[in-house]
Amino acid sequence: MIECAAKGSIWIADLSLAITRIPACRRKGALSASIALAQGDRVLGNRKRQLPKCRAGQRGSIGISMNSSMHQAFFSLFRGVLEAAPDSTLVIDEAGRIIFANAATSRVLGWKTTDLIGSSVDSLLPERLRDHHRQLRGRFLSEPAIRAMGSARELVAQRADGTDLPVEISLNPIPAEDGIRVICVVRDISERKRLDRELRDLNANLERRVEERTLQLQAANQELEMLSYSIAHDLRAPLRAIHGFSTRLLDVDNGDRKDEARHFVDTIVSRTVQMSRMIDDYLNLLHVGRVTLESELVDMTALARDVLQEIEGSQSVVGDKVVLDELPSLVADRKLLRTLWLQILDNAFKFRAQDRPLRIAIAALKDVRGVHFTVRDNGVGFDADHAAKLFRPFERLNGQAYPGNGIGLCLVRRIAERLEGGVAIDGRVDEGATISFWLPHKPLI
């Protein structure tokens, strides 16, 4: 079959296997073409034929004779091209039978090529898709056309072991003397699909992290707002006291009122110390968000025990009992973890009940999110309805009855969030409190 692509050239298909474009010349209203078949530098045959007049796009027939050696050489060349293809390549007849399968088919689909010859191409699909595929194959043969790789939807093939394999295919129908042959190239796209999934997961994880960071930033902004208000309110109080007592001190007659003057001076000193501590606490809170993390494997049991020994030396009384379970080790910043334990355990000792010995239980539980740590005490407790206030800077539920500036649990929450974890607190008045915090598993890099 020949078709004029344009004046001066023709297309010739031979044996339904190879398509060759050759130059042609016009001679007295007719086309003359020289047709040659070669192998390497050796010309196997040469035919010169006179072709009838034609226009671009016109079809016609031409006969080309070949001897057996030419035919065999051409067939061997074509077969070698198909065998060298990196993708699974099949030749399928009009009935859907496989008449050729290259070596890559065994690697891609797991079938022996000898087992495929003569079998239906439908057998390379999962059972659930075979009826539909037969319909699609019938439609294709009724209007055969080249389908390039990736032009159709992604398909699913079935490996020899019965597992599914995502593939893309290209179809190239070629007419033969006894019907149509279809060259089908099957490409394994499982690796591409895996990379696509990883990319989608990466994007989803990135979006999640951006959302988390946005929420953290919003929370930090809200916290800074409250902190600014607290600073304006709480630091102003000691400043007013300093100003007032200093003014009164100027009016005191040191000869007659030395004791009163001493009282004023002591008050001024205590207020300045209070203000200095509040500023230090404020700076510590800001430091958590700016410090560069230094990750290392931390023995949480040893760290908690070390902090306990430090606190018990100054706050423990006879009868107190602390139960410390074996805690899992974690990869995190040791300094921040120490500060976290110090604030939590200091609270447990500080808010002890006066009518009973202190009891503290420290435990941990692993789950898919990481490790959950709990610190339970039998201290004075608090009203659970006001739990959220405990995480606000300089917020105190017990007024001035206990020492401190109300920054401890706010610092605990900031540290836990900086380490990509979280914190919660629960309790009841006069029944104690439970502080829980969780931290993620991280590999040591």
* Residue 90 predicted with pLDDT over 50: yes
Strands (E), 203-337: 295-298, 321-324, 330-333
Instruction: Quote the DSSP letter at residue 27.
Output: E
Does the pLDDT of residue 62 top 50, yes or no? Answer: no
Task: Output the CA torsion sign for 122, 124, 128, 133.
Answer: negative
pLDDT bin (cut points 50, 70, 90) of residue 304 is: very high
- Lowest mean pLDDT of 36-40, 50-54, 84-88, 286-290, name the range: 36-40
Q: Which two tokens stand for residue 41?
A: 């530098």
Mean pLDDT of the residues in the chain: 76
CATH entry 3.30.450.20 includes domain 85-188 = yes
**Top-level CATH class of 292-445?**
alpha beta
- What lies within 8 Å, CB to CB, of 381 at 6+ separation is 351, 427, 428, 429, 430, 431, 432, 433
**Which SS3 state, helix, strand or coil, does residue 233 take?**
helix
CA 285 – CA 296 distance, rounded (Å): 22
- Is 46 in contact with 65 (CB distance < 8 Å)? no
For the stretch 201-247, pLDDT in tens is 888 888 888 888 888 787 777 766 666 666 656 666 677 777 777 77
Render the burial of 292-329: b for 16+ CB within 10 Å, e for the rest: eeeeeebebbebbbebbeebeeeebeeeeebeeeebee
Report residue 148 as tokens.
């390039």
Which residue type, as a one-letter code, is found at position 56? Answer: A
Q: What is the pLDDT of residue 234?
A: 66
What confidence score (pLDDT) does residue 236 get?
A: 67
Residue 32 · residue 48 · CB < 8 Å: yes
Residues 35/22, Cβ–Cβ less than 8 Å: yes
Higher-pLDDT residue of 61 and 89 is 89
Query: 171 pLDDT exceeds 70?
Result: yes
Q: CB of 50 within 8 A of CB of 33?
A: no
Gyration radius (Cα) of the chain, Å: 43
The one-character DSSP state at 292 is: P
Residue of 278, 273, 235, 274 lying closest to 410 (CA atoms): 278
27 — pLDDT class (breaks 50, 70, 90)? very low
Provide the residue ranges of all domains of the chain, joining segments of one domain with +.
Answer: 2-67, 85-188, 292-445
Q: Mind listing the pLDDT tens digit for each residue in 137-161?
A: 888 888 888 888 766 667 888 888 8
Q: What mean pLDDT is predicted for residues 178-182?
A: 86
The beta strand positions in 290-369, using DSSP E, are: 295-298, 321-324, 330-333, 359-367
Let me know: does 241 contact 267? Beta carbons within 8 Å.
yes
**pTM for this entry:** 0.44
Identity of the highest mean pLDDT range in 7-16, 181-190, 276-285: 181-190
pLDDT tens string 382-413: 877 777 777 776 666 665 556 566 677 888 88
Distances (CA, A) of 181 to 29, 176, 344: 35, 7, 78
Residue 248 has pLDDT above 90, yes or no: no
